[in-house]
Amino acid sequence: MSTLDKSMSLAGEPPNALNTNQKISVLIGMTGLGILILQLFNLQLGNSALWLSISLLLIFLGVFLFSQAAYAHKHEGIKNDGVWFKSISSRGVLGWLTGIALTGFYIVLYFYPEYLGLVQDGDNKGVIALFDPLSKALSGNPASQWFVYGALYTLGILAFGIKFMWKYRHNGYQRLRTISVMFFQTAFAFIIPEIMARLNGDLPYYDLKNMWPLNYYNFERYRINGFIDAGDIGLAMLFFGILSIFVISPILTYKFGKRWYCSWVCGCGALAETVGDPFRQLSDKSKFAWKVERWVVHSVVVFVTLMTTAVIYSYLGNDTSKYWLTKSTFLIGVSVILTAVFAWVMIFKRDQLQKDAQYGAIGYFTIIAVLIGMHFFSGDGNIFIFKSNTLRTTYSFLIGSIFSGVIGTGFYPIFGSRVWCRFGCPMAAILGFQQRLFSKFRITTNGGQCISCGNCSTYCEMGIDVRAYAQKGENIVRSSCVGCGICSAVCPRGVLKLENGPQEGRINPTEVLLGNDVDLMELVNRK
């Protein structure tokens, strides 16, 4: 039966029609947003600092009061009443309108910032000018479209983070996790890089928690030069950037699963968990979607690896006397690392991979090997057939802008909140690979208590069919799981728990659940 259309009909209206306080808070928040939108038309309001403060404050207050009106008078507990009846959260008219508006905003932001008032070599106008005072206070520079975006992004995470904590206030894990993403966004992604820019003008903008390959540009020539020119601090940061890929992240992922990053630290994750929370149930759980996800996300990793290799390669020289790292040494180094990883997986972890994953790994490895081999036959600047610059711009356009921004966030109300993390993020794929193969993290299931109700799967933002595992009593070890903990929270029978335990028996398919006498369990498991 479809109860989906109820919100559009006269009878059977959604149970959660807005109460009076919520209507007032919508008005407050929309007024704040309205001020920003008025700026698009280049209205001169006078004191930018004042109007910006009023606008941001009203938006924050609107969301804050809205959440208070929604949750404060209710008991602690799961609050998904009417989610599928509301137009905004069930791909109704409001959902589509929001999706279109967000997508439009991203397109303007990435490709037409002049419509927001960005002026090259001159004073900003419009919305961007409104943010100038804040930007100048932090970094001393006038605002850019990225600064405006960063400020709004942070505001969204803070305001909706509070909403999220209110909604899950009975749940210590959710509260702390949300505080963590709010902190990392505000401090590491927003304020610290700006202040660093002020203290040391030559240092490239560096969000420390944002590591390669998410910041695929980290090893480009201008940044490397920036780091090196900035002296010890710069070198330390460059070193940290490399360390975080090869040492810090594998260790943390071993201990805690990829959740330490994806749902506690990452900015994209932070936005998905807070602003995107009302849309988490929209992710596609079909087997087909899972297959697409595996191929797409791993292709992105391969692409980003090739691209970074090509980019670094392009500015290295051939002369060892000038600099120890030459084109050839670098390529050999990359080949050795990739071969080592590939060999390790194929020798020790092959059993844990599905057939198509094995084929994929072999295929990708061959491609990389061939391309690197071609280095010795191609001319300078022409690496891997393509120009490194072509690769770089293709990636930054297709993945960096279209996928991570326009689709990833713009389509929240259509495809759920983690489209980017699921299908596009190379970082998530690499961490997921580590999580799948050698982490202590898994989601355990509680004996035979599962009643297959499907709350866990419905609310999994990563599109994992959690129930399929839970009803078999299997631990859940999936590359894509970001450990948000919502499956465990919404389970009415307390079946699921996120655990960092010993690796023994982490992946243990059992076909019969606890409850039957032991003989039957043994019999079926023997098969």
Range 439-468, binding other proteins (CB under 8 A): 446-449, 451-455, 457-458, 467-468
514 phi and psi, to 5 degrees? -60, 145
Give 364-415 as a DSSP string: HHHHHHHHHHHTTTSPTTB-SSSBHHHHHHHHIIIIIIIIIIIITTTTHHHH
**Tokens, residue 316:** 């290295």
523 binds other proteins (CB under 8 A): yes
484 binds other proteins (CB under 8 A): no
2 binds other proteins (CB under 8 A): yes
Q: Look-up: residue for tokens 């933002």? A: 461
Nearer to other proteins, 16 or 200 (CB): 16
3-state secondary structure 481-512: CCCCCHHHHHCCCCCEEEEECCCCCCCCCCCC
The CB density around residue 352, as the number of other CB atoms within 10 Å, is: 14
Stretch that binds other proteins, among 128-136, 182-190, 200-208, 498-506 (CB under 8 A): 498-506
527 binds other proteins (CB under 8 A): yes
Query: Is 67 in contact with 167 (CB distance < 8 Å)?
Result: yes
Which residues fall within 8 angstroms of residue 119, CB to CB, at 6 or more apart? 125, 128
Using CB under 8 A as the binding criterion, the count of chain residues that bind other proteins stands at 72
Considering only 5, 50, 53, 77, the residue that binds other proteins (CB under 8 A) is: 77
Least Cβ distance, residue 458 to other proteins (angstroms):
5
Considering only 27, 50, 76, 348, the residue that binds other proteins (CB under 8 A) is: 76
Nearer to other proteins, 114 or 499 (CB): 499
Least Cβ distance, residue 173 to other proteins (angstroms):
5
298 binds other proteins (CB under 8 A): no
519 binds other proteins (CB under 8 A): yes
Stretch that binds other proteins, among 97-105, 323-331, 392-400, 490-498 (CB under 8 A): 490-498
11 binds other proteins (CB under 8 A): yes
User: What is the C-alpha separation between 347 and 361, in angstroms, rounded?
Assistant: 13
Q: Is 222 exposed, middle or buried (0-12, 13-18, 19+ CB in 10 A)?
A: exposed
Least Cβ distance, residue 367 to other proteins (angstroms):
33
**Tokens, residue 452:** 């297959």
Nearer to other proteins, 259 or 294 (CB): 259
78 binds other proteins (CB under 8 A): yes
Q: Look at residues 191, 113, 194 and name the one whose alpha carbon lies nearest to residue 154.
A: 191
**Tokens, residue 263:** 């749902």
171 binds other proteins (CB under 8 A): yes
Considering only 21, 68, 80, 200, the residue that binds other proteins (CB under 8 A) is: 80
Nearer to other proteins, 33 or 513 (CB): 513
Considering only 317, 373, 501, 509, the residue that binds other proteins (CB under 8 A) is: 501
